[in-house]
Amino acid sequence: MSGAGPQAILARGLEHHRAGRLAEAVGDYAAVLALDPDNLDALNLRGLAEHQRGDSAAALALLGRAHALKPDFTPVLQHLAEVQRAAGLLDAARTSFAKLAAIAPGWHGGHFGLGQVLDQLGARAAAARAYEGAVAAKSDFAPARFALGLARAALGDPADGRRHMEAALALGPHTPEALHGVAVLRLADGDAAGAEAALRECLELAPAHDGGLNALFDLMLARGRLDDAEAVAARLAAAEPGSALALLAQGRLLHARGLLSPAVRALARAFLGFAAAADPGDDAPFAGVVGAAHDAAKAKLAALAGGAAPGHPVTVDRLRAAAGTLGPLLLAFDDFAAARALLDLAARLGAAEAWQNRIAVELYDPDASPDSYARIHAAYARAARESAGPPPPRPPRGPRATLRIGYLSSDFRTHPAARCLLPLFERRDRARFEAFGYSLCPAPDATTARFVSLADGWRDVAGRSDAAIAQAIRDDRVDILVVYAGRFDRNRPTVALHSPAPVVVSLGDCATSGLDATDFLFADAGLVPRASREPFAERVLRLPCQYVNPPPEESPPVAARPAGAPVAFASFSNPAKLNGATLALWARLLARVPGSTLALGHHRAFEDAELAARVRAPFAAAGIDPARLAFNRSPRDPAAHLAAYGTVDVALDPFPFNGSTTTFEALWMGVPVVTLEGATMVARWSTAILRRIGCGDLVAPDANAYVETAAALAADPARRAALRASLRGRLAASTTCDPARWMRHVERAFRAAWAAERSTTRAGQPLV
């Protein structure tokens, strides 16, 4: 077509474009632009073709020129917004889609694109409004109906979400997006089996469907079906080999399997890939916070990861999942700074569980203080309240002969916390107290069934929003809601912000909830002395004993230690508790007691060579022979685990995060525990147990006394033998091992909390 004019060349290029011959189309569009550099159609179409060829930079440059020539030309603005979104420039895409929706309010595409970008940015409420605009513009546009249903359900209105989803399903055959949405709603209803069926049907239609694969992986991981989760992770990796998204799934799976260092490496690579793609210089929602987390942690993460994953389109969900999963794992490597940076990022991006883990950093850090506790809890409370929105009115209180107590927990399962929860159901005065369970367990088991059989009412609320859980509790007319061990596992203390019951109590926790919507914290004088400076958002109500642990059902007898054997110290604590200060003190102790040994064990943790090397380093620095340090693998069988204490003379308690179950188990097996008394609840757990059984002389006021107390025990075999013979009896005779007596104290506390006027309670003020 020699000598053809721009319009003829443009028409030929458009034919190539429609036929999928992108290289030829780009050549013709370039020829038009050589003749007419400001040809709007050529700029627009070449920009689109370059995007389709994978050259986002060229596409953005061409479309940007076209947009500058005619800012209100909707085809250019649409293509520009779509390319910006695909390139991960979410703030720019949000601006472009918002302008498109304003210019053409009657066209559904601008509203829908804006909603998708806002969803990626985590602005769920704003996304829902944009989807509403798309539905108003085109009521039969099923994708907008689906997206609106998902957004409404996530915002705590599953009924409205279901209404939109059903309307979308009525518009035509099931699509992958529809089935993904159905799965989300079924999960919100607690129907995990139905959700799985919908997701598998989604993936039959679209095997590489990003949302379906991720949702199925999350479901399998949450339910402990690790082999199934691994199969889904393999599909993610096949769909996007080496991507940050595939590495995120791999890291989470490795963590679930207890493979800590490989998990950290995969998650670090994923985070670095997402952080690079976030482009904090251009993207306001990620600006600053991503950069700060990256700057604080990048040297550590690069060393752990061996490099970043390839850049990957980033969303709020992906970035906060990578940061929020990786952050707490770094505690086992004694890196509090990197953990703080990552969890600060995840928390600011809206991850509720990240706030709980971020607070936990202060509990584990030996350099933290009550003041740092106060600051982080205050920040958490502000963010939680802002996220929850204004609360509905509290249900009214009135005279009750029988109080209905609701228990919200993820530990209604085979778990150490279940031993403390069971008396609340088994030992209650049934004439005066009803027990309703609200289970957050993703994978119920035989222990769950035991709780169900003991309860007056039961709801499985795993997967539901805080607001929906609170409404279920209000519907059941619960008088007192007990949030059990709120900061741990999958527990949801923020349900309290939605006015679930007239009175809300925190029990089984090791610090304040931080939420003024929680009325009372049950503790005891050992955990919270009268002179405590620890800050509490709740009113402290002291029991004679806060911690109960019924005698283990299958316990081996206390084993005698052979005379003349080298003194064996041990700690079977979580590696996250083994900070540098604790390990350095234990190294001092081994130097102080020549010939002694130290055994460490926690499940399979120390099979991880990198973790073991980190733990060995302070002992090597102190000149301790490596042969004196042993790493044990904890037996799965509870009786065999307890029997392992038969090889231990003295148990060493870490600090500042003391043991509770580990302290109890050691004492039950006749092994004295040496602890360092701290200023906060988390640092006084062992102190409270030891003083309750007349072993206050094993509580050290400072680090030097800790070493001397343990060394004195090591030098006194007669005293160790006497303790070995008496500790189980002392423990068995205490309230700790008397659930019936403990339950009477708890019930008196419930009555006191019910009778107390809420208007007169003050945060931190003891009631009894």
Q: Can you tell me the distance from the alpha carbon of 485 to that of 493, in angstroms, rounded to the nearest whole number?
A: 9
Regarding whether 318 and 418 lie in a shared domain, the answer is: no
Residues 470, 492 contacting (CB under 8 angstroms):
no
Burial label for 132, CB within 10 Å (0-12, 13-18, 19+), is: middle
Regarding whether 145 and 90 lie in a shared domain, the answer is: yes
Q: State residue 767's pLDDT score.
A: 34
Residue 734 has pLDDT above 90, yes or no: yes
Q: pLDDT per residue over 261-274, tens digit each?
A: 999 989 988 888 77
129 is written with which tokens? 């409004």
- The mean per-residue pLDDT over the stretch 279-286 comes to 43
Regarding whether 717 and 619 lie in a shared domain, the answer is: yes
Handedness of CA 248, 249, 255, 258 (dihedral sign): negative
How is 426-462 classified by DSSP, letter by letter?
HSS-TTTEEEEEEE--SS--HHHHHHHHH-SEEEE-T
Task: Decide which of 636 and 641 is more confident.
Answer: 641
The label of the residue with tokens 């600053």 reads 288
Average pLDDT, the chain: 87
Q: State residue 288's pLDDT score.
A: 44
86 is written with which tokens? 């695909």
Residue 666 has pLDDT above 70, yes or no: yes
Q: State residue 308's pLDDT score.
A: 55
Q: State residue 758's pLDDT score.
A: 52
Q: Can you tell me the distance from the alpha carbon of 763 to that of 556, in angstroms, rounded to the nearest whole number?
A: 44
Residue 88 has pLDDT above 90, yes or no: no
Residue 400 has pLDDT above 50, yes or no: yes
Q: State residue 764's pLDDT score.
A: 45
Q: For residue 85, give the CATH number of its domain.
A: 1.25.40.10
Regarding whether 296 and 327 lie in a shared domain, the answer is: yes
Among residues 498, 496, 516, which one has the least CA distance to residue 157? Answer: 498
Q: For residue 723, give the CATH number of its domain.
A: 3.40.50.2000
Q: Is residue 11 part of a domain?
A: yes
Per mean pLDDT, which range of 89-93, 323-327, 579-583 is the poorest?
89-93
Regarding whether 612 and 529 lie in a shared domain, the answer is: no
Q: State residue 152's pLDDT score.
A: 84
Q: How confident is residue 762, by pLDDT bands cut at 50, 70 and 90?
A: very low
Regarding whether 133 and 198 lie in a shared domain, the answer is: yes
Q: How confident is residue 310, by pLDDT bands cut at 50, 70 and 90?
A: low
What is the tally of structural domains in the chain? 4
Q: How confident is residue 761, by pLDDT bands cut at 50, 70 and 90?
A: very low
Regarding whether 469 and 372 lie in a shared domain, the answer is: no
Q: Is residue 580 part of a domain?
A: yes
Per mean pLDDT, which range of 73-87, 223-237, 304-318 is the poorest?
304-318
What percent of the chain is predicted at pLDDT more than 70?
92
Among residues 148, 56, 710, 661, which one has the least CA distance to residue 416? Answer: 661
548, 578, 599 - which closes a domain? 548
Q: State residue 468's pLDDT score.
A: 86
What H or E segment, with its residue span, contains residue 406?
A: strand 403-409
Residue 681 has pLDDT above 50, yes or no: yes
Residues 731, 737, 740, 746, Cα dihedral to 10°: 100
Q: Can you tell me the distance from the alpha carbon of 481 to that of 30, in angstroms, rounded to the nearest whole number?
A: 69
Q: For residue 531, give the CATH number of its domain.
A: 3.40.50.11380
Q: How confident is residue 54, by pLDDT bands cut at 50, 70 and 90?
A: confident
Q: State residue 287's pLDDT score.
A: 43
How is 481-508 classified by DSSP, letter by letter?
EEEETTTSTT--GGGGGG--SSEEEEES
221, 253, 277 - which closes a domain? 221
Burial 165-195 (b: 16+ CB within 10 A, else e): bebbbeeeeebbbbbbbbbbbbbbbbbbeeb
- The mean per-residue pLDDT over the stretch 114-122 comes to 85
Task: Decide which of 114 and 308 is more confident.
Answer: 114
**Cα distances (Å, whole numbers) of residue 293 to 271, 319, 342:** 10, 11, 6
Q: Is residue 516 part of a domain?
A: yes
Give the domain extent around 435: 403-548
Task: Decide which of 490 and 654 is more confident.
Answer: 654
Q: How confident is residue 575, by pLDDT bands cut at 50, 70 and 90?
A: very high
- The mean per-residue pLDDT over the stretch 163-179 comes to 78
Q: pLDDT per residue over 25-53, tens digit each?
A: 889 889 888 888 989 988 889 988 888 88
Q: Can you tell me the distance from the alpha carbon of 528 to that of 541, in angstroms, rounded to the nearest whole number?
A: 10
Regarding whether 513 and 420 lie in a shared domain, the answer is: yes
Q: Is residue 398 part of a domain?
A: no
Regarding whether 612 and 485 lie in a shared domain, the answer is: no
Q: State residue 298's pLDDT score.
A: 60
Regarding whether 137 and 47 lie in a shared domain, the answer is: yes
- The mean per-residue pLDDT over the stretch 61-89 comes to 89
Regarding whether 331 and 440 lie in a shared domain, the answer is: no
Residue 2 has pLDDT above 60, yes or no: no
351 is written with which tokens? 């991850």
What H or E segment, with its residue span, contains residue 642?
A: helix 638-643
CA atoms within 13 A on the CB side of 688: 28
Q: Is residue 317 part of a domain?
A: yes
Q: State residue 766's pLDDT score.
A: 40
Among residues 164, 219, 261, 163, which one has the least CA distance to residue 606? Answer: 261
Task: Decide which of 313 and 446 is more confident.
Answer: 446
Q: Is residue 231 part of a domain?
A: no
